[in-house]
């Protein structure tokens, strides 16, 4: 039997309640754990539903606040790690599921599909989803790019959505994560990356299950939040890459031998509304390139190759992003891995501008060619990146 864990923070109460109801009535689920960031309306609404759920489904609902476990900004990492700890300490269940609290397309099938993956013997099951071609730009440009450039022969760059939050862990996996101090320290948006990274390092088998209807959820409207995610997701890649041997990577990352068993359901269908969606406001995003320039940012750009430096500096006057193609991004990324200083506001602004230039370049040169082209492009770019890294570029050694 399984536990379903739902971290939440200022969500629409009805959306979370709906998720809880679906989970609580699933035959494989023994109980639901909701982990709140604070005692808000959703927290209270869930508490009010505890007795009813127990009576109607015989399923427990536990509603708790997230503990302060990590050392980074307190965020989703603390919530998820709180859930893992609670799972080990308070239950003897064999599997835990995580689902984001804001999903409106959730159905009981998601739980069934994850359970079936585990039934087949997989340690980790990850749901993955079709995405609009201008969406998922942190996944593509930060996480998968970083995985390709620094662990080119590992399974890491082949994981479809390494930042996805809909997943199942078996008890052994949870024990490994709870015992891992790096994982426990990661209290912020970097949590998904460390889970994925150490799942692979620890040799856990992984099944990626495709949900064609997509993950319909609240979009990250506020740009501030996206900037925080970007910075935290890059920072964790930088830290992990700095001394892989310290992370107990088994063998060398220069051979796939010792890799994990990893099966990916093909991405057959993509719904038309996802294909035809546009992820963001291009003109508004261009304007961001022109804002907030400081003298120090201009100096820091000297670390970069000249075309990148000059290209980004062009944005002090007018939007300029044509320079930031696939190769320029790989070069910029390698420089960032080496030079970026966490917690430095100018570096944060710079990485945000570099990434924004890349997103715009990709949007008007790749995504504009259509969904199919963009999907092929994203895959083949990751493969090109891992090949260049394999032959020594940006390998950090």
132-191 residues near a copy of itself, rule: CB under 8 A: 134, 152-153, 155, 158
Distances (CA, A) of 22 to 25, 26, 202, 334: 6, 7, 32, 45
Task: Select the residue interacting with a copy of itself from 40, 67, 116, 326 (CB under 8 A).
Answer: 116
- If binding is defined by CB under 8 A, does position 392 make contact with a copy of itself? no
Structure tokens at 272: 């038309």
- If binding is defined by CB under 8 A, does position 223 make contact with a copy of itself? no
Burial (CB count within 10 angstroms: exposed 0-12, middle 13-18, buried 19+), residue 322:
middle
d(CA 350, CA 338): 14
Structure tokens at 156: 């890491």
313, 301 in Cβ contact below 8 A?
Answer: yes
d(CA 180, CA 70): 12
- If binding is defined by CB under 8 A, does position 243 make contact with a copy of itself? no
- If binding is defined by CB under 8 A, does position 320 make contact with a copy of itself? yes
- If binding is defined by CB under 8 A, does position 36 make contact with a copy of itself? no
Identity of the residue, 43 or 122, whose beta carbon is nearer to a copy of itself in the bound complex: 122
- If binding is defined by CB under 8 A, does position 390 make contact with a copy of itself? yes
- If binding is defined by CB under 8 A, does position 250 make contact with a copy of itself? no
Task: Kindly state the number of chain residues that form the binding site for a copy of itself, as judged by CB under 8 A.
Answer: 60
- Only segment of 48-56, 66-74, 234-242, 264-272 that touches a copy of itself (CB under 8 A): 264-272
Q: Are strands 2-8 and 95-98 parallel, antiparallel or unpaired?
A: parallel
User: What is the closest distance, in whole angstroms, from the C-beta atom of residue 382 to a copy of itself in the complex?
Assistant: 11
- If binding is defined by CB under 8 A, does position 216 make contact with a copy of itself? no
- If binding is defined by CB under 8 A, does position 302 make contact with a copy of itself? no
Identity of the residue, 121 or 248, whose beta carbon is nearer to a copy of itself in the bound complex: 121
- If binding is defined by CB under 8 A, does position 395 make contact with a copy of itself? no
d(CA 396, CA 392): 8
129, 159 in Cβ contact below 8 A?
Answer: no
Structure tokens at 342: 């966490």
Task: Select the residue interacting with a copy of itself from 51, 58, 120, 396 (CB under 8 A).
Answer: 120
- If binding is defined by CB under 8 A, does position 219 make contact with a copy of itself? no
User: What is the closest distance, in whole angstroms, from the C-beta atom of residue 222 to a copy of itself in the complex?
Assistant: 19
119, 2 in Cβ contact below 8 A?
Answer: no
What is the layout of strands, in order, in the sheet containing 124-128? Answer: 60-65, 29-36, 2-8, 95-98, 167-170, 124-128, 206-210, 262-264
- Residues binding a copy of itself (CB under 8 A): 116, 119-122, 134, 152-153, 155, 158, 205, 254-257, 259-269, 272, 275-278, 281-284, 286-287, 290, 318-322, 363-365, 367-373, 375-376, 379, 383, 386-387, 390
């Amino acid at each position: 039997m399984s536990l379903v864990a739902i971290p939440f923070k200022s969500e629409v109460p009805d959306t979370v309640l709906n998720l809880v109801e679906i989970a609580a009535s699933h035959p494989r689920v023994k109980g639901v754990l909701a982990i709140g960031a604070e005692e808000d309306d959703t927290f209270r609404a869930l508490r009010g539903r505890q007795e009813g759920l127990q009576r109607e489904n015989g399923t427990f609902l536990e509603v708790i606040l997230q503990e302060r476990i990590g050392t980074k900004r307190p965020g989703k990492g603390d919530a998820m790690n709180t859930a893992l700890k609670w799972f080990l300490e308070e239950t003897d269940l064999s599997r835990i599921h995580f689902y984001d609290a804001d999903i409106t397309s959730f159905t009981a099938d998601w739980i069934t599909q994850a359970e079936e993956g585990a039934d087949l013997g997989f340690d980790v099951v990850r749901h993955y989803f079709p995405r609009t071609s201008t969406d998922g730009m942190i996944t593509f440009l930060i996480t998968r790019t970083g995985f390709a450039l620094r662990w080119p022969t590992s399974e890491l760059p082949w994981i479809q959505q390494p930042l996805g939050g809909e997943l199942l862990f078996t008890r052994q996996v949870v024990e490994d994560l709870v015992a891992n101090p790096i994982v426990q320290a990661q209290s912020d948006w970097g949590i998904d990356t460390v889970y994925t990274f150490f799942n692979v390092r620890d040799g856990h088998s992984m099944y990626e299950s495709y949900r064609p209807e997509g993950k319909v959820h609240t979009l990250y409207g506020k740009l501030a939040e996206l900037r925080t995610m970007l910075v935290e997701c890059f920072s964790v890649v930088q830290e992990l890459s700095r001394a892989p041997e310290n992370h107990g990577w088994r063998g060398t990352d220069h051979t796939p031998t010792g890799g994990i068993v990893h099966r990916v359901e093909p991405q057959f269908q993509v719904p038309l509304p996802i294909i035809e969606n546009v992820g963001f406001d291009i003109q508004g995003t261009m304007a961001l390139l022109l804002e907030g320039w400081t003298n120090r940012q201009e100096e820091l750009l000297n670390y970069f190759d000249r075309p990148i430096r000059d290209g980004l500096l062009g944005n002090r006057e007018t939007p300029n992003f044509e320079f930031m193609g696939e190769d320029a991004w790989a070069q910029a990324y390698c420089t960032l891995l080496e030079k970026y200083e966490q917690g430095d506001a100018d570096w944060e602004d710079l990485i945000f501008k570099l990434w924004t230039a890349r997103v715009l370049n990709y949007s008007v040169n790749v995504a504009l060619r259509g969904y199919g082209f963009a999907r092929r492009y994203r895959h083949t770019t990751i493969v090109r990146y891992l090949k260049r890294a394999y032959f020594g570029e940006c390998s950090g050694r």
